[in-house]
Amino acid sequence: MKSRYGIHSALVRTTLTIGFAAALSASLQGCFLALAGAAGGTALVATDRRTVGSQTEDREIQVKALSDITKNLPDTAHINVAVFNQRVLLTGEVPDDASRQKAETTARAIANVESVVNELGVQPASSFSSRANDSYLEGRVKAELIAYKDISANNFKVVSERGTVYLMGLVTQQEGATAADATSKVMGVAKVVKVYQYIQPGQAAAPIAAAPGAPAPANAAEEPTVGAVPDASVSSRPIDQQPPAPVMESSPGQPSNGKAM
């Protein structure tokens, strides 16, 4: 028969063993999650139609543009900068037209920027609740795009500002129309603006680079165009029904408050 001391020692050893196993399991799980996250990030880079160099350039332009614009504009301005394939999209609010033009001029002066789409509104800065709603809409739209088998959500950058959703990407005409149609039917989206650079179907499988100082990729449309949106034949709709949001055309240097397509 074991002594009370012996039983206590056995319990201590068992507890330490279980604790060590749990800690090891947690450590291994953390490593697995880290590896999975790294693998997921690699997969996103691999499926992006931009080259790795172009993606790196876009990130550098975004950081530089946001920093320079913030320095040159009043504190009352609220500026968001999105970059895709060296095309810069400016959204947010500025106090006057002079600030709006200053932001665009500053963005254009950054090295390797090919074009600027200025969607800044001359109005008071949006509220916290409005920005939270925009973040929510971006998530809803991305989830909706994932549900469509004819397109890859990885080929689109989604930006929401005051209920207006901007779609960027290197896409074919059909892909662009499908994504805009899907986005227009997401509950809460007030308007959809295409900021695409179009490519031919044969280019869809290969990465495309935008060379510094050069026009948009070969066979890609520099000026975004729009297809017939929405398409009533699309059957995938959110549970919350609403009339499809209007889809607008936006071109570099021109706000999207013009033609609804």
Which among 121, 110, 148, 117 has a CA at the least distance from the CA of 236?
148
DSSP state for residue 154 in the 8-state scheme: G
**The tokens 């999209």 sit on which residue?**
89
Residue 247's pLDDT band (boundaries 50, 70, 90)? confident
Q: Are 65 and 106 in contact (CB under 8 A)?
A: yes
For residue 35, pLDDT over 60 is answered with no
Q: What is the mean pLDDT of residues 185-189?
A: 96
Q: Output the pLDDT for position 209.
A: 62
DSSP state for residue 187 in the 8-state scheme: T
For residue 108, pLDDT over 90 is answered with yes
Residue 5's pLDDT band (boundaries 50, 70, 90)? very low
Task: For residues 203 and 208, give the distance between their C-alpha atoms in angstroms, rounded to a whole number.
Answer: 8
Task: For residues 146 and 179, give the distance between their C-alpha atoms in angstroms, rounded to a whole number.
Answer: 10
Q: Are 117 and 252 in contact (CB under 8 A)?
A: yes
Q: Are 81 and 119 in contact (CB under 8 A)?
A: no
Residue 72's pLDDT band (boundaries 50, 70, 90)? very high
Query: Which of residues 209 and 4 earns the better pLDDT score?
Result: 209
For residue 58, pLDDT over 50 is answered with yes
Task: For residues 150 and 105, give the distance between their C-alpha atoms in angstroms, rounded to a whole number.
Answer: 38
Q: Output the pLDDT for position 210.
A: 60
Task: For residues 89 and 252, give the distance between their C-alpha atoms in angstroms, rounded to a whole number.
Answer: 9
For residue 104, pLDDT over 50 is answered with yes
3-class SS of residue 21: helix
Query: 40-49, 102-111, 131-140: lowest mean pLDDT where?
Result: 40-49
Q: Output the pLDDT for position 257.
A: 59
Residue 242's pLDDT band (boundaries 50, 70, 90)? low
Q: Output the pLDDT for position 256.
A: 65
For residue 220, pLDDT over 70 is answered with no
Q: What is the mean pLDDT of residues 24-30?
A: 40
Q: What is the mean pLDDT of residues 185-212?
A: 84
Query: 11-20, 66-75, 118-127, 200-209: lowest mean pLDDT where?
Result: 11-20
Please indicate, yes or no, whether the overall pTM of this predicted structure exceeds 0.75.
Answer: no
For residue 55, pLDDT over 60 is answered with yes
